[in-house]
Amino acid sequence: MRFELSHADVRELIMLALSEDIGAGDVTTELTVDAGRRASGRFVARQEMVLAGVELLPLIFECRGEPVDDINITHLSGAHLAAGAKFATLRGPARTLLTCERVTLNFLQRLSGVATLASRFVKAVEGTSARVLDTRKTTPGMRRLEKMAAAAGGVTNHRMGLYDAVLIKNNHIAAAGGVRAALKAVGKTGMPAEIEVRTRQELDEALECGARHLLLDNVAPGEAAEWIRIINGRATTEISGGVTLETARAYAETGANFISAGAITHSAPAVDINFGLVLS
């Protein structure tokens, strides 16, 4: 899986990260490292992980306005790495490499953490018919990159935002005046719609109204399995709420088409990556 970096959101985020960290200048590096000093550096995984975001390396230095001489990326996003694996090397001005080190590691460690956790969810449901979805529970400003990282780990991206899919949640149902009223309102658009159901009554009403995509929210695996038997293929099903690495398998075995887990993006721990510098 290769990262798509052409979107303006990606460049804007990198520019913001560089400005936040460097500000008026890297005073430590400028005081201690000669301007003409050259260096090489390498990125090494310090733990087993799924790599994500390595394609950002050239863009980070481009946005900084100080391109390096050479960037050699040996593993792309989606690669499963063992502890000790080297995945990229750089060569250029020592000051540039040092100044961009933390921003680069912040992106790589965060995104690879998302990809690594995503891959564990995929592994947990292996052999079932369920696919794992991510959610909108992302770090503000980083959604596009975090969703690319989730995909690098093997999950399927759900909607990017509120603008690209209809998903009727419980508060929409309450505000609209019920399941029937909510489905009737969105039916006028002709857009496919997914609706959350939390009780048997809501489930039955949604099916009576012809709902084709149901979100079963915060139901136990046994109850979810019973509901899916009742649905009997009349609608695709997604299970959400309470899905963890420990429960993912049980939910996948209910026969659901999808399970979604916000933890993939909101609770992924950063992985341990080392950047080693050698002066020349």
Under 8 Å CB-to-CB from 152, ≥6 apart: which residues?
Answer: 1, 3, 50, 51, 52, 77, 78, 111, 115, 118
* 246-256 confidence digits (pLDDT tens): 999 999 999 99
Would residue 1 count as lying in a domain? no
**Is residue 117 within 8 Å of residue 271, measured between CB atoms?**
no
Claim to verify: residue 170 and residue 184 sit in the same structural domain = yes
Between the CA of residue 241 and those of 102, 218, 265, what are the distances in Å? Answer: 35, 5, 14
Claim to verify: residue 254 and residue 136 sit in the same structural domain = yes
β-bridge mates for residue 276, sequence order: 42
Would residue 57 count as lying in a domain? yes
Catalytically active residues, by annotation:
102, 137, 169, 196, 217
Number of domains in the chain: 2
CATH number at residue 52: 3.90.1170.20
Cα(100)–Cα(26) distance, integer angstroms: 9
Claim to verify: residue 261 and residue 127 sit in the same structural domain = yes
3-class state of residue 197 by DSSP: strand
Would residue 102 count as lying in a domain? yes
Claim to verify: residue 131 and residue 214 sit in the same structural domain = yes
Would residue 2 count as lying in a domain? no
Would residue 107 count as lying in a domain? yes
Domain extent at residue 39:
8-121+269-279
- pLDDT beneath 50: ranges in the chain: none
Under 8 Å CB-to-CB from 10, ≥6 apart: which residues?
Answer: 56, 59, 144, 145
Claim to verify: residue 262 and residue 139 sit in the same structural domain = yes
Claim to verify: residue 132 and residue 230 sit in the same structural domain = yes
**Is residue 195 within 8 Å of residue 214, measured between CB atoms?**
yes
pTM higher than the cut 0.85: yes
Claim to verify: residue 223 and residue 89 sit in the same structural domain = no
Cα(122)–Cα(131) distance, integer angstroms: 8
